[in-house]
Amino acid sequence: MRIWRGVSDVPSDVGPCVLAVSDGSQLGSDRLVWSAVAEARRLRVACVLLLVVPSPAEAAAVEDDGRLLAGLGVDAICVQPLAVAPAGGGWDEPAVATLVAKLPAVELVLDPVAVAAGGGDLVALGRRTGVAVHAVDSPGQRQPDRLSVAYVRERLLAGDVAAAAETLGCPHRVAGVVVHGEGRGSGLGFPTANLALAEHSVVPGDGIYAGWFTVVDKGWSDGDMVGGICYPAAISIGRNPTFAGRRRTVEPHVLGVSANLYGQTVTTDFVERVRVTERFDSIEELIATMQRDIERVRSVLREAHC
């Protein structure tokens, strides 16, 4: 999915599309998104979502949540921050007009709140440009809960990454840069890559996960690893309760290979949680459990594809 930071960032090579217009508060509701996706599928065109947010500070959070929409059928998102939110809830007719001029939009989809709070300008814009405009169904006509960003976020935070992937159409992905950690994994015989994540990353609930690990730079190679290739990994999320850890970390252990990963931007795709985080009374008990975790991860990933 493509993400554009403001209408000025939108390229000129975008094909015909349905353009959905929303303020950031509507992102968690599936009504607008699902209506736009359904209309785009009916017309066999792309689905583009314009999100108008009050300030650049809010744009980052909305952008991160927006990535969850890719699996629901949204092809691109334009996040348009405003220095001052206009009266009526953040609807920015000039931004929409600019985007309509840049995109070959065939239809505008609006939330009913937009129509009631200044969306009349958008309806007039549609008439001037020949673009069809309609509002989505009322809140009483609910779309399936399992096709909403709120549902995906709930499943991720609960550790049910498999259910989230079913809705998204692919495993949930988190990106980060490998930084130096405390080195406990190496001391136990299970070296991990400690990830520094973006501030607004949607991190699954604590536990041990089966997943895939990829170095983003396809031209990179070191040790047994090559950039752009996905490797099986056991991914630990939590505060390391056995060692009385306080800081929550995301630490993938890449199976069967080794390399100097420091400074590399990597992605982790979460396939299935194999167990919840536990506190162990001895290092021996922890190591034995980690060995079982790795066997379980291998078993899960035999049936999965990266």
Amino acid at 169: G
Rounded Cα–Cα distance for residues 69 and 99 (Å): 20
Rounded to two decimals, what is the model's pTM? 0.64
CA quadruple 158, 159, 163, 169: dihedral sign = positive
- Interior angle at CA 172, CA 202 and CA 218, nearest 5: 105
Rounded Cα–Cα distance for residues 163 and 171 (Å): 9
Residue 303 has pLDDT above 50, yes or no: yes
Residue 212 has pLDDT above 60, yes or no: yes
Rounded Cα–Cα distance for residues 234 and 40 (Å): 38
2-147 — its CATH code? 3.40.50.620
pLDDT value at residue 29 = 53
pLDDT value at residue 87 = 43
Give the CATH number of domain 171-302; options: 3.30.70.3400, 3.40.50.2300, 3.40.50.720, 2.40.30.30.
2.40.30.30
Domain range annotation of the chain: 2-147, 171-302
Please state which of the ranges 43-57, 210-224, 291-305 shows the lowest mean pLDDT: 43-57
Share of the chain above pLDDT 70, in %: 72
pLDDT digits (tens, 9 = 90+) for 87-100: 444 455 666 677 77
Residue 230 has pLDDT above 80, yes or no: yes
pLDDT digits (tens, 9 = 90+) for 252-294: 999 999 999 999 999 899 999 999 988 887 888 888 988 999 9
The DSSP element (H or E) to which 108 belongs, if any, is strand 105-110
Write down the residue that tokens 């990179």 correspond to.
Answer: 220
- Say how many C-beta atoms besides its own lie within 10 A of residue 192's C-beta: 24
